[in-house]
Amino acid sequence: MHQGKDAELVFRCLEGDAEAFGELVQRYQSAVYATAYYYAGRYGAAEDIAQDAFWMAYRSLPHLKDQEKFGAWLKEITTRTAANWLRRNAPRLRHETPLPHRRTVSIEDARQEPKGALERSERYERIQAAIEALPERYRLPVVLRYLQEMNYDEISRFTGESRDEIRGILLRAGRLLRESLAELDVQMEEDAQWHRAHK
Amino acid sequence: MASCAQVESLVQAYVDGELSAAEKAILEEHISECRMCTAALKRQRSTAALLFETLGEHRLNHDLTPMVMAHLPEMDPNHVRTSHDVTLRIKQQSDYRYLLRALAPAMALTVLLVLGMMLALSWPPEGPADMRAVGMVTHQEGKILRSHESSTDRRHVALKAIVRENERFETDGDAALMITLAGPTLMKADKNTRLKVINEREVSVEIGQIWLNVCKDQRSFRVTTPSGDITVFGTVFNVEVTPDSTVVTVETGNVQVSNNVAFTQLEPGEQTQLIVEKKPLEKSQVDAHDLMAWADTIQPDPDAQKYFAETIKPQTVKVLRAEQVFVVDTSDHTVHSITFEWEPRPIIGNHCGYNIYVSDDQMTPLFKGHIPGNVFLDMERNEYELVVPEGVPIENKSVLHISVVPDTTTRAIETPFTEVAALSL
């Protein structure tokens, strides 16, 4: 995954080779989806926004000045697309309770641990809050790392920050998250022990 | 051994599998002997696991590519960066007042062009190009052969035959042909004519005579011949092509004609003869109607015309390929050459060349030049110098209008010019 590859794919797109854009989507869908999720995930709109962002990027491709920086440019487009989505949907969203945890409870879950789904949604809420409490600059790299398991190089290519900067950000964010989630962590550990004891 | 503080700063990257081999060795050596750091590592791991597990439920779990690719929009037409930095560069002197004077008209043009670009929706897509239907045979008499460039097959032409892009037609000694092109544009071909319909807005004539009534469209209509080209928007005119010259006669509207070195504008009742290398292009007054009498004998078959209206729909096209216009204030210096600069872009492929039309402040044509497309392939190159041909009355011109028009209607790669300057010796 190196930047020269991006530039080559962009050139091919500009020459009318749509397949090349397919490759760019493959390379960046995790990042674009995670960014959309970071802004509007709680409304279940991440996938729609990600698609819109890719279409917008394709349309505007001739305006991209530095093909080497396709990733950072795509990040800007995704952020803008998400912001537009939120603005457009603001009136509706005011009347809708955000869904912190959209995953439905499976029958298996319900049978095994009646409280499981609730606990999980509580845990999710706490993690969301912990991420939101981070300095703004840390948040997107954290979401890219933990939602999509992107590595440092991939994150750096997309945010436009150097690999060392990303390493520093994730180190400091990691410390802060460890502190704010310590309690939850202990509780999880206890739950796990309880489960082991009752098997 | 490394200190605990040093090791603590490596823990996160270690958990993430992002440490170099050397750093990893330092950390592992320290951990094996330090219980505090071992505990810190364990806590960091479990925090990461908690985050992965919880957020992982929301991970993108399918490929977005098919959906994105299935509804890919049109790409914006290549944006044209027009002369925000039009400058005058007279070699002996540099004075910012000249620069400002040169910039003022250019800024106005830039604003107009930007507005134009905002109106622009899209450039028509290139389909599976060569088989698109662009017209229909609406009159046919005598022996006419047709062939397509993709095969050597030659067939007789029948009334109501669909005409496709890049199709050739050849009429014999007593034939007459009429093709209605999407628009509709009416084209009549005289006997002993060889022509090729490139698309509904471009025809190339090898030899013979054609008459055209071009439907007005935002796109220009072009007729190319061995001795020169004709560009129009909506008008009636006649083109007679012989091996060494092309005679253009205009009945209504305006027609721009050019050979490889000169160009001029024809008005109704005017005629000019294009010969390679000949300049200037002299115009004469003629009785256009009389000269085009041959075309009156060819009238469309009503049935074919009706069938045409039902089957061949005009493409809706919103925009013209942008022409770049530069205005250079020469401060009455005699211009020796004009230089064009661009930023080389590392794209290997089909760069289009540019036709350069130079006029004075009254928009009187001075001369025409051409920048071949292949100069843009050279990444080391960012400048082209167009020398003013001998005999062009370039003295005492205070302002030069330089129009730069891509010389192809195919989707070749365009190059925005960043600077155009006039040089005097």
- For the stretch A182-196, pLDDT in tens is 877 666 666 666 666
| Percent residues over pLDDT 70 in chain A | 78
Q: Are residues B221 and B259 in the same domain?
A: yes
Instruction: Examine the pLDDT at B163 and tell me if it is beyond 60.
Output: yes
Question: Confidence band (pLDDT; 50, 70, 90) for A119?
Answer: confident
pLDDT tens for B178-227 read: 999 988 899 999 999 999 999 888 999 999 999 999 988 767 789 999 99
Residues B395-416 have a mean pLDDT of 76
Instruction: Examine the pLDDT at B348 and tell me if it is beyond 70.
Output: no
d(CA B287, CA B298): 20
Q: Are residues B204 and B106 in the same domain?
A: no
CA-closest candidate to residue A78, choices A22, A24, A38, A136 = A38
- Judge whether B24 lies within some domain: yes
- Residue B271: its pLDDT value, please? 94
Report CA B24 to chain centroid distance, whole Å: 56
Q: Which residue has the tokens 């319909």?
A: B197
Q: Indicate which CATH number applies to the domain containing B418.
A: 2.60.120
CA-closest candidate to residue B81, choices B345, B360, B347, B385 = B345
Question: Confidence band (pLDDT; 50, 70, 90) for B319?
Answer: very low
Interface test with A, best of B54, B69, B122, B418 (most A CBs within 10 A): B54
Q: Which two tokens stand for residue A40?
A: 């509007």
Q: Are residues B231 and B368 in the same domain?
A: no
Instruction: Examine the pLDDT at B84 and tell me if it is beyond 90.
Output: no
Residue with the larger pLDDT of the pair A176 and A42: A176
Question: Confidence band (pLDDT; 50, 70, 90) for A88?
Answer: confident
- Residue A43: its pLDDT value, please? 75
- Residue A135: its pLDDT value, please? 93
Q: Indicate which CATH number applies to the domain containing B296.
A: 2.60.120.1440
- Of the residues B288, B311, B334, the one at which a domain ends: B311
Across the interface, whether the CB atoms of A51 and B64 are under 8 A apart is answered: yes
Q: Are residues B345 and B274 in the same domain?
A: no
What's the domain count of chain B? 3
- Judge whether B239 lies within some domain: yes
Q: What angle do CA B259, B332, B396 make, to 5 degrees?
A: 55
- Judge whether B9 lies within some domain: yes
Q: Are residues B353 and B324 in the same domain?
A: yes
Q: Which residues of B120-138 are buried (b: 16+ CB within 10 A; e: fewer)?
A: beebeeeeeeeeeebbbbb
Residues B1-14 have a mean pLDDT of 88
- Of the residues B311, B329, B345, the one at which a domain ends: B311
Instruction: Examine the pLDDT at B92 and tell me if it is beyond 50.
Output: no
Q: Are residues B334 and B243 in the same domain?
A: no
Q: Are residues B173 and B110 in the same domain?
A: no
Instruction: Examine the pLDDT at A177 and tell me if it is beyond 50.
Output: yes
Q: What Cα–Cα distance (Å) separates residue B6 from each residue in A132, A172, B30, B324?
A: 28, 14, 10, 60
Instruction: Examine the pLDDT at B247 and tell me if it is beyond 70.
Output: yes
Binding-face residues of A in 13-52 toward B, CB within 8 A: 13-16, 18, 21-22, 25-26, 29-30, 33-34, 37, 41, 46-47, 50-51
Instruction: Examine the pLDDT at B306 and tell me if it is beyond 60.
Output: yes
Instruction: Tell me the H-state helices in A41-68.
Output: 46-60
ipTM exceeds 0.90, yes or no? no
Q: What Cα–Cα distance (Å) separates residue B8 from each residue in A163, B34, B42, B43?
A: 19, 11, 12, 12
Domains annotated for chain A, with CATH where assigned, are 3-94 (1.10.1740.10), 107-197 (1.10.10.10)
CB contact A189 to B (< 8 Å) = yes
| Percent residues over pLDDT 90 in chain A | 47
Check the CA dihedral B328-B332-B338-B342 and report its sign.
negative
- Judge whether B88 lies within some domain: no
Strands B221-225 and B202-213: parallel
DSSP SS3 for A185: helix
Domain limits for position B268 = 129-311
Across the interface, whether the CB atoms of A29 and B78 are under 8 A apart is answered: no
- Residue B110: its pLDDT value, please? 67
d(CA A65, CA A73): 9
| Percent residues over pLDDT 70 in chain B | 82
- Residue B408: its pLDDT value, please? 62
Question: Confidence band (pLDDT; 50, 70, 90) for B331?
Answer: confident
Binding-face residues of B in 125-154 toward A, CB within 8 A: 126
Residues B392-417 have a mean pLDDT of 78
Instruction: Examine the pLDDT at B143 and tell me if it is beyond 70.
Output: yes
